[in-house]
Structure 1
Amino acid sequence: MIMPATEVEKQFIISRAAVTAKESMGSTVDISQEKAEGLLQAALYSGASLHVTRGPDGELAGWILLGKQMDFITGKQVGFMFELYVLPPYRKKGLGKLLIQEGVGILKSRGYEEVRFNVYTANPVKEMYSRLGFKELQTIMYI
């Protein structure tokens, strides 16, 4: 079960913004804590919400940042998962799947017909997203 983050949990999550961002990007980008915090704060300011899950010990185990985003091609508002993170001691226990499934449920209950997120190619969790039914929408290339 996931629930809204407390203020203390929000501050902890914000304090780890650079660590979680670097991990999700697979070390392809070196992002400063200030920049990572700014991105997280901007999402929260625009109405995104942080939801958490706890381990059997009651401690914070992971979180998901849920909001909305505009598809500028279609003009459609879509539900968006800005961040998903499970703390290392709690990985491989199904919490990522739980966060995604319940996060999608929350966004659908808010009226979004479609839920999206960005994932870096180097992120090993990408396979889990496919198993949960997500499909690739676009690929960004670089040189």
Structure 2
Amino acid sequence: MITQATKEEVEYILSHAVSSTYDATQIEISEEKAVAMLQGVLDKGGFYLIAKEEDGTITGWILLGKNTDYFTDQTYGFIYEIYVLPEHRGKGLSKLLINEGNAYWKSQGFDEVRLNVFASNFAKEIYRKMGFEEVNFIMKAKL
């Protein structure tokens, strides 16, 4: 079952901010910083959809919000976070959450959704299989 998160459910999600951020980036950050990043999206109208079992146990979530392309000024749907709790992985929940997010954006009249993924993120292949394409690369060089 997929529903929009309640205030209490958002608090539960934010209690996992460090682990969800680390899984996506492989970068360790403080709880304060991890929560602040996600709260910033929520404060600008973003919201969570959550996957739950029949007994109400939260199994994963997706954070949706709007974003604007810097070059074209086009507004599009954006997936800021996708996370499935480790004990619930391998059941297709990421795909289910992405499909729900995409359906939401389509119902709002959007024709494009984007997400950002780190090169080291294992979910990159899932996104490709679901139709996401590379738009740009950020590269770095150590000095």
TM range (shorter): over 0.9
Residue 58 of structure 1, CA deviation: 3.2
User: Any idea what the Cα deviations from partners look like across 1:61-114, whole Å, max 9, x if unmatched?
Assistant: 000000100101011001000000000111000111000011111112112211
What SS class does the counterpart of residue 29 from structure 2 fall into?
A: coil
Distance 1:58 1:30 in 2: 30
Q: Which residue, 56, 59, 83 being the options, matches 1:85?
A: 83
Supply the AA of the counterpart residue of 2:58: L
Distance 1:91 1:117 in 2: 20
Q: Show the counterpart of 1:24.
A: 24
Q: Show the counterpart of 1:2.
A: 2
The percentage of aligned residue pairs carrying the same residue is 44
Q: Which residue, 96, 101, 104 being the options, matches 1:103?
A: 101
Residue 55 of structure 1 contacts residue 90 of structure 1 at CA under 8 Å; is this kept in 2?
A: no
1:118-137 alignment, distance < 5 Å: 118-137=116-135
Unaligned 5+ segments in structure 1 are none
Residue 49 of structure 1 contacts residue 67 of structure 1 at CA under 8 Å; is this kept in 2?
A: yes
What SS class does the counterpart of residue 83 from structure 2 fall into?
A: strand
Q: CA RMSD in A?
A: 1.1
What SS class does the counterpart of residue 78 from structure 2 fall into?
A: strand
TM-score normalized by structure 2? 0.94
Residue 56 of structure 1, CA deviation: 5.0
Residue 30 of structure 1, CA deviation: 2.0
1:114 aligns with 2:141: no
Residue 16 of structure 1, CA deviation: 1.2
Distance 1:36 1:111 in 2: 31
Distance 1:83 1:43 in 2: 10
TM-score normalized by structure 1? 0.94
Residue 54 of structure 1, CA deviation: 1.1
Residue 13 of structure 1, CA deviation: 0.7
Unaligned 5+ segments in structure 2 are none
Number of residue pairs matched by the alignment: 141
Supply the AA of the counterpart residue of 1:46: K
What SS class does the counterpart of residue 100 from structure 1 fall into?
A: helix
